[in-house]
Each structure stands twice: as C-alpha cells, then as structure tokens.
Amino acid sequence: MAYTITNREESLTVNTDVVFIFPDGSDLAVSISHFQPQSEQEIQQNILNRYESELLKKTLGEQ
Amino acid sequence: MADRYLVPGGTGDYNSTTNWSTTSGGASGASKPVAADRLIIDANSLNTPLTVNTPNDCLSFTASNYTGVVTINSTLQTNGITNTGNITLSAGMTITGIGTFAKKGTSVGVITSNGVVFDCNFSFTNTVASITTITGTMQVNGDLSSTLNSTVTTTVNTGTIKVGGNIIHNNPLVGTSTIELIGTNPATIIQVATRYLQTNLIINKGTGTFNQVDLYYGVSSRTLTYTSGIVNHTGILFTNNTGTTTLNTNGMTWNTIAPQGSIGFTSVCNANKIGRSSANTAMSFGGTHGFNINEFEFIFTSASITTNIVFVGNVEYKINTSIICTSEAGVGVTFRCNTGIAIINLKENAFMKMVGINILNINASNKTLRILKNNTITTSTNCFKIDSNINPYSTTR
C-alpha cells in the first residue's frame, strides 16, 4: 500500500487525513479517526485497516 | 476458601484430581477448584496444559510465570466478589477454545490480561450490578457478552476491550472503557431495546463487516468512532437522552439516526435520515461538525410543546432530499442557533414542509426556508414567511 499523511491533529482523538493510492493508480483522500491511540503502531495499523476497507469497497462497487 | 494450584503430571482435564494440589508444586490429588477456591497457575505448574471440557467455577484465576495453554471448551467462571474474583493472566500464556471464560463477580473486580488474548468467548455473568476494571488492553477473539437480563448495569471501566466477534448484552453495558470491534469475522451488536451500550465504541473491522439493524448507543462523554470496516446499517441508531452522545463516524453512512436528546458530531455525519416522530422534547446538535443527510424529519405532536431544535453556529448542515419539521398542534418550536448563525444547506429540489416552526439565527445557504406567516423569523438569512394558501411544500427554490 502507499499513502501520504497530509494533515494530523491530536487531542483525545487523533485525526489523520490520508491519501490512498490504489493498485489501479486511482487515489482517495479520507480522514481517519483514531480514538485514544496507544501507540504510533496502532495508528499505522488503523490506516492499513482503512486502506483495506476502502479497497474492498472500491472492488465491491466495481462489480 | 482454599487454594488450588495447577501441577504437572496429570491428565490436563480440569475435573481430574491428578492436576491439582493444595500447595505450589506440591503433590497432586486435591479436589478441583470450585466456586470458593482460588485457581492458581504459577512457575511450578511447569507450563502444563489445562483443558476445561465441562462447566466449572473458581473464585479467582491467577496465572504467573506460565506460558502454557489453557483450553476452554465449556465455561470457566470466576465467582469472587470485589477483588476476590480477579482474573490475572500470565504474559506468554495461551487461552483458547470454543467455550467461554466468564466473570460473575460484583464491584470492583479487575481483569489483567498482560497482553494475552482470550481466543474464546468472554462473558460477564453477574446477577447484580457489577464494576470491572480493565487493565490495559483486553482482546477477546470470540463474542463479548453480558448475560444479566435486567436494567441493572454491567460496568467496565478504563482500558480497551477488543472484540473479534459479536457484542451481546441483555442489560445496559456501561463505563469508561472503550470497546473496539476488530477482525474480519462479520459482527453485530445484539441487545435488548433501550438497554443502551454506554461505553466508547470503535468500529475498526478492516475488511470485516459490521452488520447492524437497530442500535441503542450512547450517554454523555461517550464517543462512537468509525475507523475502518464495511458497515451495513439497515435500522435505526437510537442515541441516549442522557447528556450528549458523540459520533465521529465520517467514512461510513448510517441508515437512520433517531437522537433522543443531544448529539454531537466531531466529523461530518453521513446518514440517510435524521429524525424523530412524536419528537416532543428538545433536540440539540452539538460538536464541531454538521451532517450530510437525505432526510431531516422531526414531528412534534404535543399541543403544548414549546421547545427548540438547536444547531451549532458556523457549522453547515446539508439536507439533500427533504426537510419535514412540524409542530402542527402548536407554534412553539424554534429552529435555531444559540450562538452565531447555523448554515442550513438545503438542496435545490428538496421537499420542504415546515409548519408551526419559528426560525432564529439560521442562514439558508442554498434553497430558501419557508414557514407560515403566523410564525416568526429572527436574524436569519434567506428564510421567508408565506401565506398559508401558498403551497409550503413546493420543491422549487
């Protein structure tokens, strides 16, 4: 996967604005909320989870 | 109360006396732990496995310096009240099986997972109100349930409970803990109507699906966050009327949201519909963001109603298909913003019916808002009063 974090705000919830680049070259900008993250690794895992969600939504939408 | 230590050399079956001793590393032959007995696994257990194949009880479950496997194919329940019913796992151990690890105890017990996953179901089986403190993160790969069929609460405070299966609660499940739906298995929240889930909730299913019809959720200071997953919401999200429930769910779409009181958005909330029929109490939108919905429908039926629908200043609320806001039995409902001007962005061809409604501090940023001439408009933009013989339901701009 490939993504660029273009904005990040941190309080109780960390919000990351992320641009996903899909295998077909298309991209998608999303804002991902991380509620009380315990580590940077958790945020990265959440981004990966969301990427997989959006890729699946895209695949389902194209069927 | 007695202590029962798991010792090596036995069959591994919980029911067999070959596995239990009255002392750490002592001779086996003691009776199995029962509801009044502390179950202890320690270094002298020498990582010997333990399997629970029939329902069993113990007072508490304490494991330390143990990296063996505990298999639960039936039910193992700790019974102790307060701290006598604590569950403490040993880092590196494995808990697996098709059964259920259960905690019956009351206030205030503690579950300390130490990074160990409950690769089974977990159930709170208290018969009276209970409070459990979750230390750190607790992960349950199966279902998380609270079995008491009552309005009496099960409370989980602090920490996070990650759940790979369903959440099943027959009583209000409350507290400051965060419950996070994870994993690729399809999941749902099964609950008794009006017995709200009142913890923080995160939907983080990745490629997994969260299928939900009706959902009773929220209370003051609790947030429902969407992080990832495929969400199929086909019913109504009822948010609690106690305090402000916060939704941070941009990225998913709700079917219908029926706010019972105040609701706050910390990201744009997408929904097919927000509304209540027989909405005879105040409705307040809060937070930092608005919504993007198809239908907005609040119908006030009480003749004596004098209340408000309150929006947040400088926040945009998009309504794409229809706005129906009526107080046909009275004229006391005000569509308003208390501080600043709220922005109502009604789409060009949207259906509009606003009867018995006053408007205060509203900017209709696209299509005009129209109310009947016996109502009032104050410090608002692009809002008009019309004669009652003019069709107020027009979809024209």
Distance (Å, rounded) from C-alpha B396 to C-alpha B111?
60
Give the A:B interface size as CB pairs under 8 Å.
59
What would the pLDDT profile of B240-286 be if each residue is shown by its tens digit?
A: 988 999 999 999 999 999 998 899 999 999 999 999 887 678 889 99
C-alpha closest to that of B81 among B35, B31, B34:
B35
Distance (Å, rounded) from C-alpha B369 to C-alpha B354?
8
C-alpha B64: how far from chain center: 32
C-alpha closest to that of B101 among B66, B137, B69, B145:
B145
Distance from CA of A54 to the nearest CA of B (A): 8
Extract the tokens encoding B117.
């996953």
pLDDT tens digits for chain B (397 residues)?
Answer: 899 999 999 999 999 999 999 999 999 999 999 999 999 999 999 999 999 999 999 999 999 999 999 999 999 999 999 889 999 999 999 999 999 999 998 888 999 999 999 999 999 999 999 999 999 999 999 999 999 999 999 999 999 999 999 999 999 999 999 999 999 999 999 999 999 999 999 999 999 999 999 999 999 989 999 999 999 999 999 999 889 999 999 999 999 999 988 999 999 999 999 998 876 788 899 999 999 999 999 998 876 677 899 999 999 999 999 999 998 776 678 999 999 999 999 999 999 999 889 999 999 999 999 998 888 999 999 999 987 655 555 555 5
Kindly determine whether residue A33 and residue B248, on different chains, have CB atoms separated by under 8 Å. Answer: yes
Residue type, B180: E
Dihedral (CA of B186, B187, B193, B196) sign = negative
Only one residue has tokens 């309504």, namely: B319
Distance (Å, rounded) from C-alpha B284 to C-alpha B311?
6
Dihedral (CA of B283, A31, A28, A47) sign = negative
Distance (Å, rounded) from C-alpha B79 to C-alpha B56?
10
Nearest by CB: A50 against B178, B228, B266? B228
Chain A residues within 8 A of B222 when measuring between CB atoms:
none
Of B180, B228, B268, which to mutate for an interface test with A (greatest number of A Cβ within 10 Å)? B228
pTM: 0.94
Kindly determine whether residue B227 and residue A33, on different chains, have CB atoms separated by under 8 Å. Answer: yes
- CB-based contact B157:B175 (threshold 8 Å): yes
What would the pLDDT profile of B88-118 be if each residue is shown by its tens digit?
A: 999 999 999 999 999 998 888 999 999 999 9
